[in-house]
Amino acid sequence: MFTIRKMATIGLIALTVTGSTLALSTDAEAHNNFGAGLATGLAGGALLGGAFASAPPTRTVVYGPPVYAEPVYGAPVYATPAYGAPVYAPYVHCHTAWHQNHYGQFYQVRACAD
């Protein structure tokens, strides 16, 4: 919902941008107009800053004193999973070994102990 204050703020922003654009020259007319653009930007910034500073807060949040809750500790609950006890595969000791073919090229093989 737009209020008068919001419309005035939007108008001031548009006025500041337009004034800064008009105060500065284009590249084709490269004159020393830096001071005019700087003054316009500062004036627009001051107007917008004053508008934002004078606006009351939209919502005030009031917090009470801090509240600390005691943690609830109990005995851990261990139960057998619904799908049964875990089944572990026997450990097979495997390692990587380098072998050489009859051409003299090396290649890796996986060697597992039985």
- Structure pTM? 0.29
The answer to whether residue 8 sits within a structural domain is: yes
Residue 93 — very low, low, confident or very high, per pLDDT cuts 50/70/90?
A: confident
CA angle 66, 69, 75 (to 5 degrees): 165
In a domain, 92, yes or no: no
Residue 34, domain member (yes or no): yes
Host domain of residue 42? 4-54
Distance in angstroms (rounded) separating the CA atoms of residues 91 and 29 = 83
In a domain? residue 91: no
**Number of domains making up the chain:** 1
53: left (phi over 0), alpha (psi -120 to 50) or beta: alpha
The confidence score (pLDDT) of residue 8 equals 79
**Per-residue pLDDT tens digits for 8-61:** 787 878 777 777 666 665 565 656 777 777 888 888 888 878 877 777 766 767
| Residue 81 domain flag | no
Separation of CA 97 from chain center = 48
In a domain, 18, yes or no: yes
Instruction: Give residue 70's pLDDT.
Output: 80
- Domain-located, residue 62: no
Task: Flag whether 67 is in a domain.
Answer: no
